[in-house]
Amino acid sequence: MKQTCIATTAMRWSPSHPQTRNAVHAVSGAARFARSARSAPRASAKISSEDSVSETTPARSFALALAAGAATLSLMASPSLARLEGVNKPELLPSTPGSSTFVIDVAGFLSDGQEKRIQKRAEALQADTGIKLRVLAQNYPDTPGLAIKDYWGVDGDTIVFVADPNTGNILNFNVGDNVDFQVPRSFWSKLAGKFGTKFYWQDNGEDVAIVNAVAAIDNCLREPIGRLQCSNVVGELD
């Protein structure tokens, strides 16, 4: 099983690839989250805290997606400067089982009603498509971090949506290989550009960014596979 880690874009997780080994060294325990991957990583575009686009290495994307750095750390920094320490706090996981808990909001961004709506939407999506959408709203370093992998049983059919404002662009995604084959990679960058930018979530709220992103993912995954699949990013409030 392979996994694509997306910090507002896309990449491959690969424990055997030199860049991933560098990520293990740079971010310590955070790299263990990707050891189930087998294919070579690809370079990807990233949106910085100033919402400009640059090319970034998989090691950098991987670090930001799983262990969001301090707000002062520029996403444009080179991978050698990305000394982000991994977090593994299972005590921050809910007491309810991961098989029935699809939303974890340790940051308190969502209202009870919003959380329930996202939960129901993710349940329906999984029942209809087999794709497991899981949402983690965090404010690094207050996050269960690596503990979510076993808690949610992350696999090739899983999308882990990590919402963290410390990355500048609040939308980060870890996309399972089976999902990666279905969804055009351009969709994730379009989604981040529409609902994830710092300007957007500061003006509208973190909760609105999360709710719209979940709706857009749901809408995309229900579209028939084809040339125009997921070409439009449509959120709940559009």
| CATH top class, domain 3-221 | alpha beta
* pTM (2 d.p.): 0.69
Percent of the chain at pLDDT > 90 equals: 59
The crossing angle, in degrees rounded to 10, of helices 58-66 and 18-27 is 40
Mean pLDDT value across residues 176-202: 95
Mean pLDDT value across residues 62-71: 40
pLDDT over 60 (residue 155): yes
Q: Where are the domains of the chain?
A: 3-221
Q: Using alpha carbons, select from 107, 67, 93 the residue that is nearest to residue 151.
A: 93
Q: How confident is the model at residue 98 (pLDDT cuts 50, 70, 90)?
A: very high
Structure tokens at 171: 């939308």
Amino acid occupying residue 100:
S
Q: How far apart are CA 123 and CA 146, in angstroms?
A: 23
175 in Cβ contact with 4 (< 8 Å): yes
pLDDT over 80 (residue 94): yes
Q: How far apart are CA 12 and CA 109, in angstroms?
A: 29
In the chain, at which residue ranges do the beta strands (DSSP E only) sit? Answer: 3-6, 44-47, 53-56, 103-105, 132-137, 158-163, 171-176
pLDDT over 60 (residue 182): yes
Structure tokens at 134: 């899981």
Q: How confident is the model at residue 192 (pLDDT cuts 50, 70, 90)?
A: very high
Question: Could you give the strand order of the β-sheet that contains 171-176, starting from the edge strand earlier in sequence?
Answer: 3-6, 171-176, 158-163, 132-137, 103-105
